[in-house]
Structure 1
């Protein structure tokens, strides 16, 4: 018999002011698993997180922890003792950092000796042992959030719920804390559900990502699947899939499609019939730019002549807008950008592998 998941939710609905704001038919969280809830503002991430934590009443549905229904007051109380919650703003009270981290242990009636040992261990885990006797009211934003996280981890919860925990921090502090949290979650084998709108944060921390929109789950998958194989245009747009196209299928065979697009032909894996319309996408990072025709000398099936329409900086990459008869965006490293002398109007070749193209939808032709 298969062991139950650590956390399961089924047919979960939340209603506010007579309006259904959350509808989730099914969700599971496994042992030692980290799942992130991602989506734009107002997608329902925090509502879903609070419902899972039993901190928000649900109109219908069921939540189970290790197979046990969390329905009665007694079951809810027992469940809350096995979980911890961290919010965007650290909810610290007057007293020292030690006092704050010890709070959950005191409620659970740990002995003084046990509390001292557990707090010392957790402060060291978050690299804030030196703050133990400092007033919680005199902490920086990063120190306060580390204290809040340490308090949550000190009780060694089965599940930790994190609601946009780093969104108020400056980028360097946020990055450092994200890296530390990733290490700590692995070291402690703690299961977690994280609500965030930051894709890089979700990718770094998560085993699975759950994309939400309008209170519903749109797609669930590994970070790679979400970023590279979006199920629809909403998810594709959210994950930064700047190259989305619709073209007519002109040839099929051996599991490959050939699509007419702006006077060019693009080949990629898929199933359709000639005359159908294919909706597909390509990540900008998967497009390579060369100044010579690489037909026959590269594994890329698609090599297309193009002109550079414009360039701009995009973080660690340079963004190049191409005119291939259809608009195509490529991201290249700054070094490649300089080496290739990419300027507006330059004639180049854009190439990408067939496997880099993701088919999202096929519209059947009218018979």
Structure 2
């Protein structure tokens, strides 16, 4: 594997007695976007401050280009990084002057600064705002200004601390799309912290899931979202259907698992008597009316009661009860309206055996 640009080893952060962050190993590699995802209070901002050398760990080591960072190295290495925070930190000055601030502090002349700033103003769509005062900007315009200031520094490492969270949905979506394009085109190594799984999946080449101060899983974005390693990660990445069951029979790579509500077939090598957690994403469950035949290649069909129907953008989110278990399905509006199902009705929930992600219980 390539040399890590920045890596953390044996990190512990304690305030008084409680350990608020415990990271045994984490690295970001040149050219990748590492999305650090977790709920509020998980320790994401603390982790980003460590990676930005703005805070010292209580215990552990940080390496930059495989060289251990010492307290005296901090300033020189920080000059090779740039950060964008949740709240734009702008001076009472023009957009151009705010964007140029970092370059001015590094002693560049006006002509060079102009050559560095203007292309980024254009790429982020705010060249027409160059002379506008920062206090008159919208939230999205202010955050774009912060991004120009950071990107114009040509950093080796870009650190983004939930930069989209204060923005309204249309503004957030537009900025996300622009940033995704810029990161792909430039290959800037980036650590992006977010509590939003859609943002993490969209921007991250790899995703690290941080819960209660600990890294639970690191891997390719699709791997983390489709194959979480434990129940905590499964819950956070949006797997709403989780069935606890016991393997009854096995047969050449297939297993039948009984849970309180029925039986399910799954793929994999298991032993009779094993305790499993069966995970299903809502988009992998198809609904049908119990009194109608519908074509499906799915091996698994469960009768469940439709408990709640919630409009969900272009879909309906259907919550169902099957025994003591809760199933959640995401159905397109046309498909759901065609079914003519209502809350309180029985429905058939079907899904393929290959759609079930299995976590072995310890």
Quickly say closer, same or farther: Cα 1:112–1:263, change in 2 above 3 A. Answer: closer
Distance 2:102 2:320 in 1: 57
Give 1:193 shift: 0.7
Contact 2:2 2:29 in 1 (8 A): no
Q: Which moved more, 1:56-65 or 1:28-37?
A: 56-65
Contact 1:272 1:362 in 2 (8 A): no
Instruction: Write out per-residue CA displacement over residues 111-162 of structure 1, whole angstroms, 9 at most, x where no aligned residue.
Output: 2211111111111111110111111222111111110111000011011111
Q: Which of 117, 129, 132 is 2:130 aligned to? A: 132
Q: Which of 110, 113, 121 is 2:111 aligned to? A: 113
Quickly say closer, same or farther: Cα 1:3–1:319, change in 2 above 3 A. Answer: closer
Give 1:108 shift: 2.0
Instruction: Write out per-residue CA displacement over residues 25-44 of structure 1, whole angstroms, 9 at most, x where no aligned residue.
Output: 11111111111111111101
Aligned twin of 1:45: 44
Contact 2:95 2:133 in 1 (8 A): yes
Give 1:345 shift: 4.2
Q: How does 1:34-113 map to 2 (within 5 A)?
A: 34-73=33-72, 75-113=73-111
Structure 2's unaligned 5+ residue stretches are: none
Q: Which moved more, 1:10-19 or 1:169-178?
A: 10-19
Q: How does 1:309-328 map to 2 (within 5 A)?
A: 309-325=307-323, 326-328=325-327
Distance 2:351 2:17 in 1: 50
Secondary structure at 1:50 match in 2: helix
Q: How does 1:226-265 map to 2 (within 5 A)?
A: 226-262=224-260, 264-265=262-263
Instruction: Write out per-residue CA displacement over residues 319-340 of structure 1, whole angstroms, 9 at most, x where no aligned residue.
Output: 2233444542211011111122
Give 1:288 shift: 0.7
Distance 1:212 1:261 in 2: 30
Instruction: Write out per-residue CA displacement over residues 148-199 of structure 1, whole angstroms, 9 at most, x where no aligned residue.
Output: 1110000110111111111111111111111111111112211111111111
Using the size of structure 1 for normalisation, the TM-score is 0.93
2:348 maps to 1:357? no
Distance 1:263 1:143 in 2: 52
Distance 1:176 1:151 in 2: 19
Give 1:307 shift: 4.0
Q: Which of 204, 219, 222 is 1:221 aligned to? A: 219
Distance 1:198 1:47 in 2: 17
Structure 1's unaligned 5+ residue stretches are: none
Using the size of structure 2 for normalisation, the TM-score is 0.94
Contact 1:255 1:270 in 2 (8 A): yes
Aligned twin of 1:272: 270
Quickly say closer, same or farther: Cα 1:343–1:103, change in 2 above 3 A. Answer: same
Distance 2:234 2:285 in 1: 16
